Amino acid sequence: MSVSNCETFYEDVPTLGEVKREISSIVGLREIKKQLESILQKIIDAEKNAADGFRVVPPKPFHMVFVGRNGTGKSTVARIIGKLFYLAGVLSSYTVTEMRGHQKMRDANGGLLLVKIDEEDPISSDTMEELIAAIDKGKSLIVLAGNHRALNQYMKCNLNLYRRLSTRLQFDDLTCEDLAMILEKKASIKGESDMLCGFELDSSCSTDSIARMIAELTPHNLRSLLNAHLLDQMLIEAKKVARPGENTISLKNLEMGIQNGAEIFKHLLNL
């Protein structure tokens, strides 16, 4: 179970088996999954070599840029990468600390610092210098994340920082099928405190039928803006229209939830 304290994510001490399952459970992001699996296999091979008596030198941390719109899985992948580099012996901590451009520099304490870049939320020159110093110190892993336009705009003005970021991962928008699969996963989570828990999808809610409703009831520009961030509200709206005492979301409930959730976001975003 993970716990969020402000903007630092603390999770149970990871194992290779658990991280492997996390990578397998990622929906979409096929090329990124391949890269994560490659890093995982290198760690497994290094552990085997160490057990066989060979000297293993941990790799140096390589700082990254994540390019993609909201809801495409950047934070999820950052947490997996933090665990992988911890298991590889590169980082002293597996925690992930998030910060935004307007905030003061935060200390990742030997873990991963995820810096979210926004076109209307620029990083100050002081914070930029602190980021460069943190990269040069090499104790934490720095990841800059944002959409293509925001990152391009920022990097053109900060070449000293850009030259220190050696890896770029592209997070494509999720397809309607991807969104349907994530919605199914969210609905399957069991727990007591989460607003989304306690309800199950009816057997009529197949991946194909959910994907079709998402395609028909949500405009493309809304899906591109929010991707998976759409889904929690849609499930909440589907629960609202279920009959009292009913703990199963029917296909009709879900259809209304998707439609109502989309209308809420369209109103909020003036679409």
Residue-by-residue DSSP string for 104-145: PP---TTSEEEEE-BTTBPPPHHHHHHHHHHHHH-SSEEEEE
Report the distance separating Cα 151 and Cα 162, nearest Å: 10
Residue 270 lies in a domain: no
Q: What is the DSSP letter of 97?
A: E
Judge if 59 and 76 occupy the same domain: yes
Report the distance separating Cα 250 and Cα 72, nearest Å: 27
Judge if 166 and 182 occupy the same domain: no
Contact 182/196 with Cβ under 8 angstroms? no
Give me the domain span that covers residue 200.
176-263
- List pLDDT tens digits, range 152-173: 877 777 888 888 888 899 999 9
Judge if 159 and 195 occupy the same domain: no
- Final residue belonging to a domain, choices 148, 171, 194: 171
Q: What is the pLDDT of residue 35?
A: 92
Q: What is the pLDDT of residue 125?
A: 78
Residue 47 lies in a domain: yes
Judge if 106 and 228 occupy the same domain: no
Judge if 27 and 91 occupy the same domain: yes
pLDDT score of 124 more than 80: no
Judge if 166 and 185 occupy the same domain: no
How many domains does one find in the chain?
A: 2
- List pLDDT tens digits, range 20-65: 999 999 999 999 999 999 989 988 888 888 888 877 776 676 899 9
Position of tokens 């030198």? 57
Tokens of 136: 């040069």
CB atoms under 10 Å from CB of 235, counted, come to 23
Report the distance separating Cα 183 and Cα 165, nearest Å: 33
Judge if 103 and 211 occupy the same domain: no
Judge if 86 and 160 occupy the same domain: yes
Judge if 55 and 134 occupy the same domain: yes
Report the distance separating Cα 37 and Cα 153, nearest Å: 31
Judge if 235 and 181 occupy the same domain: yes
Question: Which whole number is the average pLDDT over 142-147?
Answer: 93
pTM confidence score: 0.88
Residues 6+ apart with CB under 8 A from 156: none
Percentage, residues of the chain above pLDDT 90 = 54
Judge if 182 and 259 occupy the same domain: yes
pLDDT score of 129 more than 90: no
Domain of residue 66, CATH code? 3.40.50.300
Angle at 266 between CA 261 and CA 270, to 5 degrees: 155
Report the distance separating Cα 162 and Cα 225, nearest Å: 25
Report the distance separating Cα 105 and Cα 246, nearest Å: 48
Report helix, strand or coil for 143: strand
Contact 64/143 with Cβ under 8 angstroms? yes
- Final residue belonging to a domain, choices 171, 194, 225: 171
Judge if 148 and 201 occupy the same domain: no
Residue 230 lies in a domain: yes
- Final residue belonging to a domain, choices 110, 136, 171: 171
- List pLDDT tens digits, range 91-121: 999 999 999 877 788 888 899 999 998 877 7
